[in-house]
Structure formats: structure tokens, C-alpha cells
Amino acid sequence: MSTYLLETERLRARSFAKQDLQELQELHKDPEVNRYLTPKGAWDLTACRARLSEFINQHKKYGFGIWRLENHSGQFVGWAGFALFEETAEVELQYAFRQPLWGIGLGTEITRHLTEWFFENTYYTHLIARVHPDNLPVKLVLMREGLHYRETRSVEGEAQEIYQVLSPSCRRLALSA
């Protein structure tokens, strides 16, 4: 039986394991899933193996990382969690779902719960999320869940908008100043 790191109304998150490779590859064969995630397109088997290894090692190294998401029936639906954005040394929230599950509120649900989990379980002052300027649905999710536009920067030759949310304690300090 798996240990779940996070449970929401419709989702459960656990650490990735090596046996999750096939599900990860199936998700990232879909060009629509990858459209805003990477300028390199679909992940081939080699890329999936490398990313899966990163996901597993990040969790071991930092105590958080990208987690496998499933519904309460145990069916793989995507992934979500946190990664280090090396360019700024900040932690960023990320998620990806199977395309048939888009538009039913799972992005909002996981963003809300991940943000709460992050500030309850870490000492970071803020959390960021990067989004392609054309990805309006994700930008709306981020804003609805309290992240605010901070800047646009070039990442690997692609424009990325950076959204940010302060920890509850930093928000209180900012409001009292």
C-alpha cells in the first residue's frame, strides 16, 4: 500500500516510483499536454526516464518534489508538486493532467492544496509558478488561488510569466507595513 503525501477531494499524491515510467510516458506522448511545458515537445522514453529519476531524487533530496497523482480509484491522472527553478533558486509549483481531465477544476484543486501543503511543511517565504503567456486557463487558476503576476522572463528561449504567492506569515508582515 502506498503512502499518500497529500489527499484532496478527488486526488491523492504519492512519490513516483520506477514502475510509474509507462504511465508517465503515456501522459507525455500527448502533444497537447506538452504544448506549454517544454519547447522540446513530447517526451520520448529517454526523456521520461530522466524526468522520472529527477522526480524521485528531488523528493529524497528536498523532502518535496513532483508527485504522482491518482484519483480515489487509483487511476493515474497526472503529476503535480514542486521543483527547484534553478535560474532564480526558487521553488516552483508545477502540474500536468491527462487531457480528458482538463476543465473540471483539478488544476484549481491541486494548486490550492499544494500551496497549503507547501507553507505548512516548509519554511520558504514564497512560492512561484511559471506559465507560458498563451496558457490562459493556468494563469486564471493561479490568480484564483492567490498567486500574482511578478514578471516575464526568457527561459530556454521561451517567454515565461512568473506568478508568486507569499507565505501567510510574509503576507501578514506585508499588510502590517
State the average pLDDT over residues 102-126: 97
Q: Cα separation of 156 and 122, whole Å?
A: 28
Q: What is the per-residue DSSP string for 89-139? A: TEEEEEEEE-GGGTTSSHHHHHHHHHHHHHHHH---SEEEEEE-TT-HHHH
Query: 6-176 is classed in which CATH architecture?
Result: 3-Layer(aba) Sandwich (3.40)
Domain ranges across the chain? 6-176
Q: Cα separation of 168 and 46, whole Å?
A: 40
How much of the chain, in percent, has pLDDT values that exceed 70? 97
pLDDT tens-digit map of 62-75 = 888 999 999 999 99
pLDDT bucket at 164, cuts 50 / 70 / 90 = very high
The pLDDT value recorded for residue 177 is 67
